[in-house]
Structure 1
Amino acid sequence: MKLLKAAVIFVVVPTLTPAFDPLSASLVAGSAVMAWHLFSSDSWLKCRFQECCEKNRTLNFTALKAQLDDRLFGQHLAKDVVLKAVLGFSNNPSPKKPLMLSLHGWAGTGKNFLSQILAEQVHPAGLRSKFVHLFLATLHFPHHDQVKLYKEQLQNWIRGNVSACPSSVFIFDEMDKMHPGVIDAIKPFLDYYEEVDGVSYRKAIFIFLSNAGGDLINKAALDFWTSGKRREDIQLKDLEPLLSVGVFNNKNSGLWHSSIIDRNLIDYFVPFLPLEQRHVKMCVRAEMTARGYAVDEEIVQAVADEMTYFPKEQKIYSDKGCKTVQAKLDIHEDLVMREMKARG
């Protein structure tokens, strides 16, 4: 019997490589791009649905000037100083320190107004922006015995927010009511350091608002008026030295003996002049226009006449600036509406 040899047959099954699918590849790539747009802080798509920090935003000098010209009255000096300061800071790709402005003058002269306009130019949402931070001395730092705690909290807050957005804006209102020593906590962030604990503060903006120094400004303005000079001839050099020394030595100021002044870290002390009746009338007209009303000069004059002025003899300057214009206009507006109803 013949032996049959077993034949071993090896069947080689080729490994199948899937054909390239352009559609699938496109979907994968599209998903990656979409994921980047949803989670990246630099995505234009994400920034269409929520506010993003514009790290390299250049301020629109023309728009800022137009806003100040249209909405801030009687403050030629403040407008000129701020425009020059902001232009220089914005055009510098690598500033050596943050921009630090200290605005001084009596209530109602436009300090808050100017700071809001400036904030809107940096971050369009203005005070509603998560990158613009407003501190009120009497609200956020009320207790004298907690100065140490406030300083720690303030440093942590600023460090965290500038880490999230280098162009953050910090506004400190009521500096004349802040406890001495609190504001010195931010001194390291204002100084000429490239970084502090790995964070650069050089593109941030800090603004102080204070009534301190208002008396000095008012006296200088009155002296100009008495000597027959135009208020528009008052220059920064006439007031800035008085302000820096006066505020530094004012025990009722949050900047009393402050290291921020001592180290010359405030770029500009910006004086806000007392407002004359003609400026009050401008405020009334602007408010009527903002409410959608035709300007009625009789009402404009009536509101201006109800304001109180100083000095008592000359009655040149409004002692509340334009601060109560809205409230007084409300009363006249109500009277006008009643007259219209009475006439049918």
Structure 2
Amino acid sequence: MKPVRIYLLLHVVMTTSVLVHTFNPFEEMSGFFKKFWKKVYNPQESCDSTWISFNAEGLKYDLENRLIGQHIAADVILKTVDGFMSNNNPQKPLVLSLHGRTGTGKNFAARLIAENIFSQGMDSKYVHIFTADHHFRHLSDIETYKAQLHQQIKHNVSNCERSMFIFDEMEKMDPGLIDTIKPYLEHYNKLDGVSYRKAIFIFLSNAGGESITQTTLDFWKDGRDRKEIKLRDLELSLSVSAFNENNGLKFSDLINKHLVDYFVPFLPLEYSHVVQCVLAEMKARGLQPDVNVAEKVAKELVYSPKPEKIFSAQGCKTIEGRLYYI
């Protein structure tokens, strides 16, 4: 039977069953097929388990196999997101602050979280992204930005309690603007009639990148494997850096009010990690992964610090464009 006829037949069954109340075909379906049909029959994304369903195993696989060179971040993100999504009555929103140099995978990690919660991933209407340079570029308009941000957060969480907010370039944001977010991260049951406890807030920042790099370099100089680095080796220096570096976080109440659940460090990437990034990008493009090509791309990048030249200055950020010229 042709797909169109199958669709029409199912449509008739669906509509007539609703009219006569004889049976509910959803009860005859389970798992994947139930969700698939509901999406076909009602393709409009909605705030329910059809479109929002946490895939713990999927996130575990992605963090372990797709997030390159970030064993600490993979472990912290998996445990915190899994614990939060498994709790039907969290006391506050989940707040993660991801820190590290450019190109180390912070944006990619946020994307993996979204892809394993929302069927539409980053394209979901319940995932909201704000970047300092794009959304809050003029300091003279800061009061307008505050009002807009307040309204957008309230409106979006009112529409879906499982909303996700991603703030990129936090180090460039005005501290007053950052503090606009503060009330929504507290332990309130409701704020102006809206509960924010099931929302997720992810902050992305380059702040603390130098302290993370220095710790990683110290391990390398001592002849120790970078996988020996633990969260405890970085968390204190990272939070201190966020306090002391000249950026919006330094003057914000988010840190001194302890509203961030975890400061998640992203380690600088080495040559071998860049090679893995190139191979992954080739595979994503449908190309045959070629180690020789990957090594050629990796060798073209700039590495620091001098004289060691261990870490890619731009991480894996520029490899996508470089592949076009190989």
Which band: TM-score by shorter chain?
0.7 to 0.9
Contact 1:277 1:304 in 2 (8 A): yes
Contact 2:100 2:106 in 1 (8 A): yes
After superposition, residues 129-144 of structure 1 pair within 5 angstroms as 129-144=124-139
Aligned counterparts of 2:314 and 2:83: Cα–Cα separation in 1: 33
- Residue 49 (1) aligns with residue 43 (2): yes
State which drifts further: 210-219 or 308-317: 308-317
Q: How many residues align?
A: 298
Contact 2:53 2:116 in 1 (8 A): no
Contact 1:77 1:235 in 2 (8 A): yes
- Residue 266 (1) aligns with residue 260 (2): yes
- Residue 98 (1) aligns with residue 88 (2): no
Give, as a single letter, the amino acid of the residue that structure 2 aligns with 1:183. I
Aligned counterparts of 1:198 and 1:122: Cα–Cα separation in 2: 25
Give, as a single letter, the amino acid of the residue that structure 2 aligns with 1:59. F
Contact 2:136 2:173 in 1 (8 A): yes
Q: TM-score, normalized by length of structure 1? A: 0.82
Aligned counterparts of 1:216 and 1:263: Cα–Cα separation in 2: 23
Aligned counterparts of 2:68 and 2:202: Cα–Cα separation in 1: 20
Structure whose alpha-carbon radius of gyration is higher: 1
Equivalent of residue 199 in structure 2, options 196, 200, 204: 204
Shift of 1:104: 0.4
Q: TM-score, normalized by length of structure 2? A: 0.86
Cα deviation 1:45-88 (Å, max 9, x = unaligned): 78731111126955211111111223210000000000010111
Q: 1:89 to 1:47 in 2, by over 3 A?
A: farther
Shift of 1:207: 0.3
Please, which runs of 5 or more residues in structure 1 have no aligned partner?
Answer: 1-25, 34-42, 333-344
Aligned counterparts of 2:290 and 2:124: Cα–Cα separation in 1: 36
Match of 1:167 in 2: 162
Q: 1:229 to 1:156 in 2, by over 3 A?
A: same
Match of 2:59 in 1: 64
- Residue 74 (1) aligns with residue 69 (2): yes
Aligned counterparts of 1:121 and 1:47: Cα–Cα separation in 2: 23
- Residue 184 (1) aligns with residue 173 (2): no
Match of 1:113 in 2: 108
Match of 1:19 in 2: none
Give the % identical residues. 51
Aligned counterparts of 1:117 and 1:102: Cα–Cα separation in 2: 15
Partner SS state of residue 49, structure 1: coil
Cα deviation 1:259-316 (Å, max 9, x = unaligned): 1111101000000000010000000111111122222222111111101101221111
- Residue 157 (1) aligns with residue 152 (2): yes
Match of 2:4 in 1: none
Equivalent of residue 316 in structure 1, options 285, 305, 310: 310
Aligned counterparts of 1:187 and 1:46: Cα–Cα separation in 2: 39
